[in-house]
Chains A and B, each alone.
Chain A
């Protein structure tokens, strides 16, 4: 069974803290993505990566950075967490050979910044 796992389901951090969200996939997928989901706004793409050490900005990259040192792992970093980054964060992966938009999502991390 294919799987995308995220390091935490729930996370509470304080304003100004550095936050790491980790995502691991076991499908040997080339592409990995980070989204955030907020009520009424749907899913918004933060960053994606199509290869190790490669990254591309999505629609809302401000305040975030990413790291992809290994094919199976994609990390989202909040350098200095702020309250407006309280959200559900979703990681996904897909194969570069896949047509259309078939992605596999993790369970999500609900981050609260106090």
Chain B
């Protein structure tokens, strides 16, 4: 399972775009990059996933360079309700004909300031 490195915490003002970068130097060919959001006292929520280039949905964008050794989660115009912990995961549950254990790590704690 590819090890990931992301900042422990970030602060941002309301209305700004926030970019959280995750490093995953030993990503494997079949691995996907998945991001979760977790609010206090709740379970994590899947927000976006990608394999290469750019993925966008109604919540966020995910930028993946050609070498796939890092990825950037972009949250447009954050609000106070985006204050949460964001986790980056790399791997593939369905890959390799078997199963991979999931490691969430400690994530990035984003604090949005009024």
Contact = CB atoms under 8 A, between A and B. Distances in A.
Which bucket holds chain A's interface residue count? 20 to 34
Contacts of A48: 99, 101
A40 B104 CA distance: 12
A83 interface: no
A111 interface: no
Which bucket holds chain B's interface residue count? 20 to 34
B3 to A, nearest CB: 13
A76 interface: no
B43 A105 contact: yes
B71 to A, nearest CB: 12
Contact of B106 (A40, A45, A58, A104): A40
B43 A101 contact: no
Contact of A90 (B43, B87, B92, B93): B43
Interface of A: 4, 31, 33, 35, 40-45, 48, 50, 56, 58-59, 88, 90-92, 94, 96-108, 110
